[in-house]
Amino acid sequence: MQPLPVDNSPLPVGGAGLRELLFRPAGDTALDIFLGDRMDRALSDAVLAMAMRIQAAQMPGVVEAVPAFASLTVHYDPLVVSYEVLATRVRSLGHMPAASTPPRRWRVPVCYEGTGAPDLDHVAASVGLSRAEVITRHEAQSYHVYMLGFLPGFPYMGDLPTELRLPRRGSPRVAVPAGSVAIANAMTAVYPLNSPGGWHIIGVTPVQLFDPSRRSPSLFAPGDVVCFEAVTAFELGRLEYYAERGQWSLQPEPMDRSRIP
């Protein structure tokens, strides 16, 4: 099936003037919308704004809109709406006022000590900084959640300070513990589940990022802002103790959109 022709007039999506939306079918129950070909905040804001427009429009047949770095996948029921009709309706949303959802800030406690930070010394040596300097730079940044992927609830967050950027590990680990805080290239992330992984692990958090029993199983969502705050091994153990007993969980802070970095 050929993609629909695209109107080349600017589309005010997320405050950015976009000159092209490219539509392509993704199987027979999903529609991919490409807004660009790079990773940056302005483009991510445009993707998220389009996702909110689609959700707010409550179009018949639409199941879910899933944001990525520069694209959006819209899952739909083909018995209710066709690819051609859906693409036309979605394209028309580019000229509508942007929907607005208050952003959230998460302050995530991280222990950068001991066995929870097995790659911290390697990272420090590779970038020419001390352990303390790596920690300071990592926790000084506010990170934008671009998308969730790889694992349920796995947040791709950026942008990592330039001086901390390294390629992925040459040899991925067979097992990375849940809660591991890691970096690779321009991204930082938290592993929500035990899994293989090739990122550099520099810390560990007691925060449970994915829980299928929660109303929203994934703690973070695209567009959230995440900050990391260093805690000691003792504080980590205390938080783990209360979290396991249901007496502590991380809560978001509402943010003023105009103050988002």
**Of the candidates 95, 123, 157, which is a domain's last residue?**
95
Does some domain include residue 2? no
Same domain, 27 and 53: yes
Does some domain include residue 164? yes
Does some domain include residue 4? no
Q: pLDDT for 162-199, tens place per residue?
A: 999 999 999 999 999 999 999 999 999 999 999 999 99
Same domain, 44 and 114: no
Domain that holds residue 135: 104-259
Same domain, 128 and 215: yes
Q: Answer for the pair 60, 78: CB distance below 8 angstroms, yes or no.
A: no
Does some domain include residue 3? no
Same domain, 82 and 211: no
Res 28 pLDDT > 60: yes
> Which CATH number do you get for residue 37?
3.30.1360.40
Task: Share the mean pLDDT of the chain.
Answer: 89
Same domain, 119 and 240: yes
Res 7 pLDDT > 50: no
Same domain, 162 and 247: yes
Return the pLDDT at 95. Answer: 56
Q: pLDDT for 95-126, tens place per residue?
A: 555 556 677 999 999 999 999 999 999 999 99
Q: Answer for the pair 190, 118: CB distance below 8 angstroms, yes or no.
A: no
CA pair distance 142, 192, nearest whole angstrom = 20
Return the pLDDT at 100. Answer: 62
Tokens of 240: 């783990």
Q: pLDDT for 80-96, tens place per residue?
A: 999 999 999 998 886 55
> Which CATH number do you get for residue 134?
2.40.100.10
Same domain, 139 and 204: yes
Same domain, 137 and 203: yes
Q: Answer for the pair 105, 252: CB distance below 8 angstroms, yes or no.
A: yes
226 Cβ contact partners less than 8 Å away, ≥ 6 residues apart: 105, 106, 108, 142, 143, 145, 155, 157, 220
SS3 content of the chain, % helix, strand, coil (to 5): 25, 30, 45
**Of the candidates 95, 127, 143, which is a domain's last residue?**
95
Does some domain include residue 1? no
A 10 A CB-CB count for 204 gives 28
Q: Answer for the pair 164, 182: CB distance below 8 angstroms, yes or no.
A: no
**Of the candidates 62, 95, 128, which is a domain's last residue?**
95
Does some domain include residue 251? yes
DSSP line for 30-71: EEEEE--SS--HHHHHHHHHHHHHHHHHT-TTEEEEEE-SSE
Same domain, 73 and 170: no
Return the pLDDT at 102. Answer: 72
When divided into structural domains, the chain yields a total of 2
